[in-house]
Amino acid sequence: MDRRSFLKNSALGGTAAAATTLAAPAIAQAGRTLTMVTSVPDGFAIFDDAAQRFADQVNIMSGGSLTIDKRPAGTLVGAFEVFDAVSAGQADMYHSADYYFGGQHPGYYFFTAVPFGATAQEHNAWYQHAGGKELHDELGSIFGLKSFLCGSTGAQPGGWFSKEINSAADLQGLKFRMPGLGGKALGLTGASVQNVPGGEIYQALASGAIDGAEWIGPFADERLGLQEVCEFYYTGGFHEPGSALSAAVNLDVWESLEPAHQQIIENAAMATHGWSMAQSAAENGAALDRLRSQGTKIMQFPDDVWDAFGTASNEALDEFMGDELYARIRESHDASVSNTSSWVSQSDNAFTAQRDRIKG
C-alpha cells in the first residue's frame, strides 16, 4: 500500500474542513510540545491510565524539553479517527489500541491481540525479542507512523451479557460489542457484532442498543459501571488473551525530533507498557470480588461455545492470508507464541497448578 494513495483516499486526508480542525504541532517556549490524541475519555481505567502515565513520563524524563499535550477522545477527533489524524499530520501522535485500525491494514490486529493468540507475556516476548517491533515499524512506515507498545490490559474477559449463554445457539442474533479479529470471529458464529467506542458502551447497553459487550477487565469494567446494566459476566475470553495498547508518532514529526527525545519516547512507552501490565494484574482480582459481592453472576462459557469460537477464529485469521505482510506478521507471531508457550506450559503453568492445589 502506498502512503500517498492512503492519504489521498483517507477521510481526513481528503477533507479540507478536517484539516482546519487541528492546530499545527506546537513548539512550547521551553521546548517542544506534541499533541497526542487518544481513543478514550479522560479517567478511563487502564486505557487512559496508560496514556496519562506515558505523557507524564515523557515530560519528566525530558526535564520539560519535550512535553505531551494529551487530548482525549472527542476533544479534537473521535475515538476511531486518531489514526487518520496522525497519519495525515493533523496531530503529532496517538495513543490507542491498534486493532481499531485493522481496516487500514489487517496486520494491525496483531499489535493489540488476536483470538486464541499471545498472552500478555508472550506478546511482549514476540515484540521485544522475536521480530514484532520490526514488523510494527514496517507496517507503520506505510502510513507514515512510528509505533510503540504502550500499555497492556492483560487477558480480557468474555464480557457482559444480559442473558445466560448456555450453548452456541444462544449467540445467534446476539447484538454484541467486540472489536478486532475477535469481533470478526464472533460475527461468524451468528452474532451481530458492533464496534462501539469505549465511551459509549454504557449507554448502548442501558438503552438496549446492544445485548452485551466486552471492555477490558474487572477493574476497568467496574469503573465504567457495566455491572449496573448487565447481570452475567463471563470471565474467560477467547478474543484478547493479552491486549496491548500503542503510541504512534507521525513519521515526519518523529524524524524531526532530537535523538535524545526519540529515546525518551521509546523508553517511556516501554516503561508504561510494563507498568500498565502490572496495574491490570494488581487491580483485577479485588475488582472481581467486589463485582461478585454486588450480585454480578460470574460465569464461564460451555465447551460447545468455546468450540464455536475456535472454528470461527481460525476462519477469521485465515481471511487475510493473501496479503503478504499480514502473512509474515501472523507467521512471526505464531512462531514466537509456539516457542514461548513450550516453556511457559512446562514452567509457569505447571507451578501455578501445583501452587493452587497445595494452597487449596
Provide, rounded to the nearest whole percent, the portion of the chain with pLDDT above 70. Answer: 92
Listed residue (235, 267, 328, 215) closest to 54, CA to CA: 267
Q: Does one domain contain both 247 and 123?
A: yes
Q: Does one domain contain both 18 and 87?
A: yes
Is 158 in contact with 214 (CB distance < 8 Å)?
Answer: yes
In a domain, 110, yes or no: no
Is 176 in contact with 312 (CB distance < 8 Å)?
Answer: no
Q: Does one domain contain both 11 and 63?
A: yes
Q: Does one domain contain both 186 and 83?
A: no
Q: Which of 11-25, 26-40, 111-125, 270-284 has the lowest mean pLDDT?
A: 11-25
**Predicted pLDDT at 301:** 98
Range of the domain at 131: 3-105+119-152+243-281
**Predicted pLDDT at 16:** 32
Q: Say whether pLDDT at 267 is over 80.
A: yes
In a domain, 324, yes or no: no
In a domain, 358, yes or no: no
Q: Say whether pLDDT at 318 is over 60.
A: yes
In a domain, 15, yes or no: yes
Q: Pick the residue with more confidence: 345 or 263? A: 263
Who's near 175: CB < 8 A, 6+ residues apart?
191, 192, 194, 209, 210, 211, 212
pLDDT in tens, 94-133: 999 999 999 999 999 999 999 999 999 999 999 999 999 9
Q: Say whether pLDDT at 184 is over 70.
A: yes
Q: Does one domain contain both 97 and 131?
A: yes
In a domain, 346, yes or no: no
Residue 250 and residue 244: Cα distance in Å, rounded? 20
pTM: 0.90
Q: What value does the mean pLDDT take over residues 155-183? A: 97
What is the torsional sign of CA 296, 206, 39, 300? Answer: positive
Q: Does one domain contain both 230 and 247?
A: no
